[in-house]
A and B are shown apart, each in its own frame.
Chain A
Amino acid sequence: MPELKLILPELSLLALLCCVLLIDVFKRGRSNDWTSTFGLSVASLLIVLVITATGWQAERIAVFGGMYIADPLATSLKVFILSAGVFALFYSRDYLARRGIVVGEYYVLALSSVLGMMILVSAGNLLTVYLGLELMSLSLYAMVAMQRDASQASEAAMKYFVLGALASGMLLYGISLMYGVSGTLDIATLAHNIGGVRDGTLVVFAMVFVLCGVAFKLGVVPFHMWVPDVYQGAAAPVALFISTAPKIAAFGMVMRILVEGLSPMRPEWSAMLAILAVLSMAIGNVTALAQTNFKRLLAYSTISHMGFLLLGVIAGTNDGYAASMFYAVVYALMSLAAFGALILICQADAERDETADFAGFAKTSPGFALLVMMVMFSLAGVPPFAGFWAKWFVIKEVLAAGYLWLAIVSVLFSVIGAFYYLRIVKLMYFDNPDGSVVVGAGSDMRAALSFNGLVILALGLLPTWLMTICLVATRTF
């Protein structure tokens, strides 16, 4: 069966997920062990990673009546999502083990969320897009709520759930109007049918609703309200998970719905995205200046980075899409490391998530302070690191597409944003430690975080190989 061979990554992940779930029942109480749920989940992700990478398709193939698409974009995004998932699980284990939280379902839900993201990025039909999105989000809501005894976590989960349901409703309403206009849910046919519609207003109206749903998942202004509250309320590894792999998946969703399905409406949606991008960069960066909580700071930083990510899509060229994809992957890497730093200093009794907790970090642990400094420089977009190239590529593409004002605005806000990243560096290097913050992480966490930091540095020195992959992935659009 050629169809089953193409969906082998999703099939195998689902099968492995069910196995992990069953084994977890019998190994209750030891789910953070290497030989138990955690180890099996990481092994599952790695197996699926290998299966995905070996199933590379050079051309676009649609199976199951166009419901599922196998193409370079889907495969490469899946590889990045799975890799981010492996890192996220490593960091989660350390946090959960140290704080004495033993829940095997955490890993199972993480796996099912990854499954949802994989379905989302290779969706060929708006129905599959919606179901993939729901599978991903449902798992995330539950992961946020998992810390039941913390009232903040429950509140964050409730907010995330209600607003997420609202966004899904918007998306569904938009999709139903799309169906009314074009008579199809198939993304490729949609692009063809919309081109021949007499009256554009109805398509634009439907598109606004779809765009709301997409913008909510990306977390761009004005659909950003949930981001800071959810990041602050959720446990550090959950916030880490939400801010990494789902962002790559959301980029895939933008590519599938806007770039592929609504390609005849490019002038309209790129104008809307330009507004969203400018607002995100402005509000994200300016509000982050006032934050004293590290998680909220990272949340506003996410919002501004998603604004930057949209720049490449606004440019509307293949190179622009590749630049956005590069941005999504690099952002996921940096976000992993930034939240990793937070997990590094968390204590058994409580989380240390104030920026002041990093005071004098360079004196208590110079090695990791250097790493956090690298990550902060990278997030700010300082040259030798990967974050610089991510910004460089999107701004270059947006300039090439003739949006000079957008490039100027983005550079301006990027400079403003550098302030709060550098403040963390200042806190670590020039303030006095209060002695309460120590690195309590285990050796696997330390190794993973160091590797993560090295990848950011290596990508900064040699950005071309990742860019080549992104260019190949977006070539078919």
Chain B
Amino acid sequence: MIEQIVFYAFAAILIVAATMVITVRNPVHAVLFLVLAFFASAGIWMLLEAEFLAIALVLVYVGAVMVLFLFVVMMLDINIAVLREGFARYVPLALVVAILMVGAIGVTVGPANFGADKVAIPAPHAADYSNSQALGAAIYTDYLFPFEIAAVVLLVAIIAAIALTLRTSRQHKQPKTEMQLRARRADRVRLVKVSGTVEQQD
């Protein structure tokens, strides 16, 4: 009973916070609501006995990523008026799509398919069950191959980030030798035909 109350409380906070993220005008407030949404989902994961994921979500997302995000948002000068341009024009189409989607999701992902009577309630784990141990064992045995690919994706992200942001040319004022060597005579010198005679004027 208490578990249900806690679940509904967290779920309500999550939905309200997520809605606020996309509706508030101030981007800093939006980021803070996102933090709240993460906290609420961490709480729900805790109810599902996924302690490791819940803690990782709070530590990594709330502790590190969102703080960084907050800094970035504070540094950027975001013009809300420009972002909201054309909002009214797209509302009717967006509403139609949204209503269709909500209807379809309601019909399919409702109690008819995922109701409490359809899925057996998993047995609770023993008190000394280690979530992180189970996760580690799964990652390094059954999921070794995807885990390694995820590592390669991170490597590529690093390479891409460096390639896109490192600007060596701005950091020193050396002349660009390759540009100088590539210069051809035709680029710099223009021959102009000048007639040798000067017309006499009366």
A109 touches B146 (CB 8 A): no
A305 → chain B, closest Cβ, in Å? 28
For A7, A142, A145, A146, the residue with the greatest tally of chain B CB atoms inside 10 Å of its CB is A142
- Among B149, B156, B178, the residue within 8 A (CB) of A119 is B149
In the complex, whether B143 has a CB less than 8 A from a CB of chain A is yes
Query: Is chain B's binding surface mostly helix, strand, loop or mixed?
Result: helix
B149 touches A105 (CB 8 A): no
Q: Which residues of A contact B163 (CB under 8 A)?
A: 103, 105-106, 109, 142, 146
In the complex, whether B108 has a CB less than 8 A from a CB of chain A is yes
- Among B109, B145, B155, B167, the residue within 8 A (CB) of A68 is B145
Per-residue CB contact flags for chain B residues 85-112 toward chain A (1 = under 8 Å, else 0) read 0000000000000000000110111001
Per-residue CB contact flags for chain A residues 92-128 toward chain B (1 = under 8 Å, else 0) read 0000000010110110110010010001000001011
Q: Which residues of B contact A141 (CB under 8 A)?
A: 160
Per-residue CB contact flags for chain B residues 105-147 toward chain A (1 = under 8 Å, else 0) read 1011100111000000000000000000000000000111110
In the complex, whether B159 has a CB less than 8 A from a CB of chain A is yes
Q: Which residues of B contact A103 (CB under 8 A)?
A: 163
A350 → chain B, closest Cβ, in Å? 14
Per-residue CB contact flags for chain B residues 158-171 toward chain A (1 = under 8 Å, else 0) read 01101110010000
Given A115-B152, A145-B164, A21 contacting B159 (CB threshold 8 A): yes
Query: Which residue of B is nearest A349, CB measured?
Result: B187
The stretch of A197-205, A282-290, A416-424, A443-451 that contacts the partner chain:
A197-205
B143 touches A135 (CB 8 A): no
A365 → chain B, closest Cβ, in Å? 20
Total A-B Cβ pairs within 8 A: 83
Q: Which residues of B contact A21 (CB under 8 A)?
A: 159
In the complex, whether B182 has a CB less than 8 A from a CB of chain A is yes
Given A100-B179, A109-B160, A131-B149, A201 contacting B142 (CB threshold 8 A): no
A154 → chain B, closest Cβ, in Å? 9
Tally of contact residues, B, Cβ under 8 A: 29
In the complex, whether B59 has a CB less than 8 A from a CB of chain A is no
B66 → chain A, closest Cβ, in Å? 18
Given A67-B146, A103-B163, A131-B146, A202 contacting B156 (CB threshold 8 A): no
Given A103-B163, A109-B160, A201 contacting B145 (CB threshold 8 A): no
Q: How large is the interface on A (under 10, 10 to 19, 20 to 34, 35 or more residues)?
A: 35 or more
A135 to B148, CA, bound (A): 12
Given A14-B152, A138-B157, A139-B156, A148 contacting B164 (CB threshold 8 A): yes
In the complex, whether B153 has a CB less than 8 A from a CB of chain A is yes
Query: Which residue of B is nearest A204, CB measured?
Result: B108
A131 touches B153 (CB 8 A): yes
A146 touches B164 (CB 8 A): yes
B160 touches A138 (CB 8 A): yes
Q: Which residues of B contact A205 (CB under 8 A)?
A: 104-105, 108-109
Q: Which residues of A contact B108 (CB under 8 A)?
A: 201-202, 205
A199 touches B145 (CB 8 A): no
B163 → chain A, closest Cβ, in Å? 4
In the complex, whether A273 has a CB less than 8 A from a CB of chain B is no
In the complex, whether B15 has a CB less than 8 A from a CB of chain A is no
In the complex, whether A132 has a CB less than 8 A from a CB of chain B is yes
B67 → chain A, closest Cβ, in Å? 22
Given A100-B182, A135-B152, A142-B160, A199 contacting B112 (CB threshold 8 A): yes
A128 touches B149 (CB 8 A): yes
In the complex, whether B6 has a CB less than 8 A from a CB of chain A is no
In the complex, whether A267 has a CB less than 8 A from a CB of chain B is no
A371 to B48, CA, bound (A): 64
A199 touches B113 (CB 8 A): yes
Q: Which residues of A contact B143 (CB under 8 A)?
A: 65, 67, 127
B112 touches A112 (CB 8 A): no
A127 touches B146 (CB 8 A): yes
In the complex, whether B60 has a CB less than 8 A from a CB of chain A is no
A29 to B168, CA, bound (A): 11
Q: Which residues of B contact A7 (CB under 8 A)?
A: 145
In the complex, whether B150 has a CB less than 8 A from a CB of chain A is yes
Query: Which residue of B is nearest A119, CB measured?
Result: B149
A154 to B106, CA, bound (A): 39
Q: Which residues of B contact A139 (CB under 8 A)?
A: 156, 160
Q: Which residues of A contact B112 (CB under 8 A)?
A: 199
**Mind listing 28 A-B residue pairs with CB under 8 Å?**
A7-B145, A21-B159, A65-B142, A65-B143, A67-B146, A103-B163, A105-B159, A105-B162, A108-B159, A109-B163, A112-B152, A112-B156, A127-B146, A128-B145, A128-B146, A131-B149, A131-B150, A132-B149, A135-B149, A135-B156, A138-B160, A139-B156, A139-B160, A142-B160, A142-B163, A181-B113, A199-B112, A202-B113
> Could you tell me which A residues sit within 8 Å of B by CB distance?
7, 14, 21, 29, 64-65, 67-68, 100, 102-103, 105-106, 108-109, 112, 115, 119, 125, 127-128, 131-132, 134-135, 138-139, 141-142, 145-146, 148, 177, 180-181, 199, 201-202, 205, 348
The 10 A-B pairs of least Cβ separation, nearest first, read A142-B160, A105-B163, A64-B145, A205-B108, A131-B149, A67-B145, A112-B156, A127-B146, A202-B108, A202-B113
